[in-house]
Amino acid sequence: MLTTPIETNYYRTYNQYLQEKFGCRVYKVSIDGGFTCPNIDGSKGVGGCTFCDETGSSSRTNPKKTNITEQLLANIEHRRNRFKAQKFIAYFQSYTNTYSRIERLKKLYDEATTAHPDVVGLAISTRPDCVDEAKLDLIASYKSKILPYVSVEYGLQTIHNESLARVNRCETHEDFLQAYQWTVDRNLDHCIHVIIGMPGETWEHMMQTADKLAELKVNGVKIHMLVAMENTPIAQEYQAGLWESMTFETYVETCVDFIERLHPSCVIHRVAGNGHFKHVVAPKWMAGERREVMQAIDETFANRGTRQGSQCRFL
């Protein structure tokens, strides 16, 4: 378990960004708002993305099913004690956190943003096809009225529609471009989640995704490696020999290639770490290796003499 942030000179980290913005140690605290997902309940698809586990890709944020305020207060206490955090961002993480009626969204977001005086931000993770202008207006209203930091996090994963179909994503790159434009129109902070190692993708596919994010000049990117969690279709594919996970070395090299192509202004929220290691089927090397991955990424940048943006085509 990574307990303290690793600082790096090779890419712009989320910790650095928050420190610059707030001048103190700020941590995200995850909340489970009790949402589901249109790719699970049948309105867009059934079964979910092939890599989605029973937690909605959230690392089991609320096993006791407590309410928003209880979750926030418990997580704030934990982070304050363990990491000396001073301010907090309420982070709706599990499943699709804009997938409900707007009245219910407002009630949940209101509760999260007023549960504790040290909550200074709101972050909402969702699918690009689950926002509309009214929902983004609601989210933007917290920025103008209440909080200095409001962010929407979109699961893009890849710009390639054939790869999205391959993992049963049931949405398209065009859905993302529409949501992104509405988000930029409202001057909302945003973070785009991408996956390195999508089934069927070559190095060129992944670099094309990086180039597109650089061209759009997105605020932030969260980089995931595709991990097979237990009881998921991708784990079955792995066990049947239909999908191979990346080696440690290939992931590190590809991740550095990806970051080199991003715009230097982009905030890198994460470069490693998915899911709880106890429930990982493949690759087994990622169990508890987040710090090692981050160190290897730094060493690779040092050996190459490059950094974030070195290969950016949109400066």
Given candidates 18, 31, 49, 282, which one binds ligand SF4 under the rule CB under 6 A? 49
Query: What is the C-alpha R_g of the chain?
Result: 18
* Nearest-approach distance from CB 126 to ligand SF4, in angstroms: 8
DSSP of 83-114, one letter per residue? H---EEEEEE-SS-TT-S-HHHHHHHHHHHHH
* Number of residues forming the site for ligand SF4 (CB under 6 A): 12
Q: Which tokens sit at 212?
A: 């597109």
* Nearest-approach distance from CB 48 to ligand SF4, in angstroms: 3
Ramachandran angles phi, psi of 77, nearest 5°: -60, -45
DSSP state of 64: T
| Stretch binding ligand SF4 (CB under 6 A), from 18-26, 48-56, 205-213, 248-256 | 48-56
> Which residue, 10 or 95, is less far from ligand SF4 as judged by CB?
95
Q: How many CB atoms lie within 10 A of CB 135?
A: 22
* Nearest-approach distance from CB 119 to ligand SF4, in angstroms: 24
When asked if residue 176 is in the footprint of ligand SF4 (CB under 6 A), the reply is: no
DSSP state of 27: E
Ramachandran angles phi, psi of 113, nearest 5°: -85, -10
Q: Which tokens sit at 103?
A: 């009245």
When asked if residue 39 is in the footprint of ligand SF4 (CB under 6 A), the reply is: yes
For residues 61 and 55, what is the distance between their CA atoms, to the nearest angstrom? 8
When asked if residue 48 is in the footprint of ligand SF4 (CB under 6 A), the reply is: yes
* Nearest-approach distance from CB 190 to ligand SF4, in angstroms: 17
Residue list 136-175, contact with ligand SF4 (CB under 6 A): 155
Read off the amino acid at residue 92.
F
Given candidates 26, 40, 229, 297, which one binds ligand SF4 under the rule CB under 6 A? 40
When asked if residue 127 is in the footprint of ligand SF4 (CB under 6 A), the reply is: yes
Closest alpha carbon to 115 in 91, 95, 149: 91
When asked if residue 280 is in the footprint of ligand SF4 (CB under 6 A), the reply is: no
Residues that bind ligand SF4 (CB under 6 A): 37, 39-40, 48-49, 52, 56-57, 95-96, 127, 155
